[in-house]
């Protein structure tokens, strides 16, 4: 091989080496760009995961709140209807207690007692309970004192109306007469 051929070969090698180095630099730059893109995509994925987790938590909280609101609304509506019906229950109870003994064997009286009993059973299926207060101490959460008489202090001696609960909530306070302790 001649010197010129050797120089040409050497130039070819240098040119080839420069081209390879240039391609290697291009590949390294593309790799850095891809790493940047991967980092951006990874960040976006994390942001979307966080957003999805928040959206799911918000949805579950909404479902719970709707269920709670629905139960509260049912309780509120039922309580309002029941309080209006309690006037009829009170009237039936007054009628039953005021009926003279000689009329307590009539079919009409039996029908009145049966109607009263049916209403009470229906209220119980709706989780409504009544409670007697006679000879108990006054509880301001349950009783409304209408009048006072001399006697043992704050003991209920007469009840105009019973108190009622719907589940654990008092829907009507008892109206009572109490002894004052004088």
For 92-121, b where at least 16 C-beta lie within 10 A, e where not — what string?
beeeeeeeeeeeeeeeeeeebeeebeeeee
pTM of the model: 0.60
Please say if the pLDDT value at position 159 is more than 80.
yes
Q: What token pair was written down for 61?
A: 């909280």
Please say if the pLDDT value at position 79 is more than 80.
yes
Query: What's the pLDDT score for residue 1?
Result: 66
The pLDDT tens digits for 41-66 are 999 999 999 999 999 999 999 999 99
Q: What is the C-alpha to C-alpha distance for residues 82 and 51, in angstroms, rounded to an integer? A: 46
Answer for the pair 130, 159: CB distance below 8 angstroms, yes or no. Answer: no
The pLDDT tens digits for 100-134 are 999 999 999 999 999 999 999 999 998 898 888 88
What domains sit in the chain, N to C, each tagged with a CATH number? 130-182 (2.30.22.10)
**Tokens 């009622």 belong to which residue?**
164
């Amino acid at each position: 091989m001649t010197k010129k051929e050797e120089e040409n070969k050497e130039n070819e090698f240098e040119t080839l080496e420069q081209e390879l180095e240039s391609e290697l630099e291009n590949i390294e730059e593309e790799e850095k760009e891809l790493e940047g893109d991967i980092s951006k995509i990874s960040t976006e994925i994390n942001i979307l995961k966080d957003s999805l987790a928040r959206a799911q938590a918000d949805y579950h909280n909404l479902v719970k709140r709707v269920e709670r609101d629905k139960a509260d609304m049912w309780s509120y509506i039922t309580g309002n209807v029941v309080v209006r019906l309690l006037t009829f229950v009170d009237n039936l109870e007054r009628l039953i207690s005021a009926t003279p003994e000689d009329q307590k064997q009539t079919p009409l009286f039996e029908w009145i007692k049966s109607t009263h009993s049916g209403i009470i059973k229906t209220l119980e299926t709706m989780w409504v309970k009544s409670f007697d207060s006679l000879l108990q101490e006054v509880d301001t959460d349950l009783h409304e004192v209408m009048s006072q008489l001399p006697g043992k202090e704050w003991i209920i001696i007469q009840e105009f109306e019973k108190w009622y609960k719907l589940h654990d909530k008092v829907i009507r306070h008892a109206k009572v007469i109490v002894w004052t302790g004088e």
